[in-house]
Structure 1
Amino acid sequence: HLARPFGATCLGIQRMSKAYQAFPVAASTLMQSCPRTVRALSVLVHSEGDGASRFAQRISVGKHRILADEPVSVGGGDEGPSPYDLLLSALGACTSMTIRMYADRKKLPLMGVDVSLNHEKVYAADCADCSEHVSVSTPANSKSNKIDRIERVITLHGPELTEGQRKRMLEIANLCPVHKTLEGTSVVVSSLAPAPADAAVTESLSLQIDLTFGSRPHELSPDFTVRRVLPYRLRRAVGPFVFFDHFGPIDVATAKPMDVGPHPHIGLATLTYLYAGALMHRDSTGAKRKISPGEANLMIAGRGVVHTERGAEVVDAIAADA
């Protein structure tokens, strides 16, 4: 997991002092107040191999989730970026962050950074601007082998930036830690972990629970109470969901059916999924739709919609048909 036991200021100082030595005295003074803590990073990659794409991978980095895949042209399903896409993304993000740290430190009028990257394998003999790096990627006496060439184009936004400031930030980009790792000599040490029980593979790799909490009664109207899960005091939202309510089950023979009267929404969307029973949806756009079990009803409010969700209307219609 990504350990962040110290404040953002100390983290920024540590990263910048390692990336370049433009302000050694200031960095040395400020670092005295920063805890000497090792920053650990753990990445977990899991493949089940039984989905639509046999190459699809689920990547967990702390609380973050990423899906990786190969393009269709090589047998994948293109469900996520390829490994080389992720590699370029890491270099691009690191480049932009390093430039931003430098600009903030120097109080430069930098408004934004765009980094465009492209990767290709080329023959060393055909790469005029790669000669100084050949010894890193290939044996010194073997220019016939292919090497990895990454082209990086950096766009610095800020009309008040001088030409000298732009050139200096290009130099700082080359001090990005990921850049230095790619151009340096890295060592990858591989080993096999003990084989887990089959039943534990998916659970241990793909399921990571950050927080567990239950629902609570929430009265929407005098005759309508739901079990509300979100928002919660420790988790205001999960992904795009800011409200999460559950209603039922009830026996309409002995209890009043669900009846949500006219009420407005602005700037959000509602998603209703029915496990059992039936509901009648109506809204101010003129839409009228019966929602049946297994169906989802998505309403996008936009600038404003008034809607109702009534169970009694459907129950009466069913009784009339019977």
Structure 2
Amino acid sequence: MVSVNNTRTSLKERCRVDLGYPYHLNDSPAEHLAALQTLYQSGKGPSAEELETKITEIFGKPAAMWCPTGTLAQGIAGRIYAERSSKKQVIFHETSHLLLHEEDGYSAAHGLTAKTVGKWREAMSAELLDQDSACAFVEMPQRHSGGLLPTWDDLCALKEHAAAIGLPLHMDGARIWSARPFYNDRSYAEIVDGFSSIYVSFYKDIGAIVGAALIGEKDFIDEAKIWRTRLGASLVDTSYLIADTLRLLDMRLEQMPGFIAAAKEMATSIEDIESIEVSPNPPQVNMFHVLLPCNAVIAEQARDAVAEKMGIWIANRFWSYEGDDVCAMEITVGEKAAALPRHEFANAVKMLAEEISKAQ
């Protein structure tokens, strides 16, 4: 049960277990600042160039640019490809973050138009590409498909077809950090080979305060830096943000295989519960969806009931994009979820399903 000592705090804050964002332990703003204070006592903070050099080495590309947000990075990427090709159209999978969560910034800020392709629970594939567009955005893994990835053969076919028709590929790699095990531990450089540019996030799976990187050829990144300045995102001092990323990056990459293994165990623990479905099953990365037979309002009410009775905040997000009577509960495994005993997670999901059934 939740603690009732402080009625002014939210239900989420009163839970003994919180599986929502942020996903890691010791991840409050105060804890980030305390860690940074310790780092800065030994000297001044690192430069953006230190992190950018590390990222180019990881991904095997010539250049990288730190950005405060992925929205900024990806909008710039789309704009550059549009200007170079004199084409405004960009290919997006229907689950793309740019279509769902950015207030149409690709259009309003950058003058792009969208060609929407694909099916919700299917990865981007070669036959969805065409040469009438400036570029294609390929999210890997696809968040709104539960962390779905194309098979290695399908990914190679996608790259080969794009190259054959002269279509630049841009990877929305916000969560690419979790993809290596699915591809038999191929390097990040091999996975992204064939993509003209890549965006990665530092705050989602890595758990840094904020930040992203745009990666590509030197002339592309030089042009991107001009747009970063034009759009007001060249910050005077980013050293503390860079330092926070550098102190966490290697550790999170070492932890990632364990997070993925935990996601698979968690999915297995609930796959026999009636009326729910794990997607994809088994999980391919450190996240998965639990498909629920209700709308998001009912799901949130059920979640709150579980929180009150068990003291477990099972998820922040319930997505209702696929229909009025179905929603997806997003589970992302970091340190917090990995530490939760599997039977406790299964009991919480079982109670969630029961609460949903009672509400219908």
- TM (norm. structure 1) is 0.22
Whichever structure has more helix as a proportion of its residues is 2
Task: Kindly name which structure, 1 or 2, has the bigger radius of gyration based on alpha carbons.
Answer: 1
Whichever structure has more strand as a proportion of its residues is 1
